[in-house]
Structure 1
């Protein structure tokens, strides 16, 4: 069964690393919308030119353009059994777009995971990465929680959100996500 896994986690929580691990473990594909946008711009495709014009003007990318990017990405990866999105979608409209586009390419199962971690651990990780400005760290965390709260609430209301606290045990995160979401892709 073709599946989508969406992973959310605050900065320095390891959500990107975990998403890549899961995609690798299940031989799926990890999709970063930012990477997809950069690729389109770099290749100077029609969509890339459109994206570039919004970026150069400092404008927000319209939902219709994001939907087009998602559609093309699903089309490109339609033979994959598992697609992993990391910290995307960013809002309810994008979440609804994924839910509408996914079945067109045979993806019937969408699972969402929100990784929670002790904030002190995040601060320690940021400081280890030479981000010593504690105020900047708190601003990053506050921005993440503010921006992502609506889409997290959306997934919670639809009943497809799993919350996993991995403050204590990072080693078994892939297994815990697999178990809590019921991923059934054969590794």
Structure 2
């Protein structure tokens, strides 16, 4: 079995919805929200899926969605999850690195995200990958849990400075 990363398509909606139900206890996306993310021009969703050797059905192990806003060089990691059975093996890091590459390809200079303060696994991953807390988000999630807004510079030097030098 091999894990591959690919861009999500509209036909992935049901698998994404099932993963949301398994991976999150609250603040889950509805089918309508997921459909909107898959079909809007300023969003990009990458899937991590496990394919069997015999070209059988694939198994969705994780996904991440980036949002891009015109007029800014900051991308937002809007949703990120790894199936509970696939955690701890480096898949989250691999998926996040691929999402960072996609953000860079869209000329983002910074990648931001929000994370629950009680999600120690995600906080640890984000910190190990260079994300730093920017702002405390009191009572941010639907159950009242606080969160951190975090960000990571994707470039050592902003694109505007690079173009002045080049």
Specify the TM-score bucket, using the shorter chain as the normaliser. Answer: 0.3 to 0.5
TM-score with structure 1 length normalisation?
0.31
Q: Which has the higher contact order (CA 8 A, sep 6+)?
A: 1
Higher normalized strand content (fraction of residues): 2
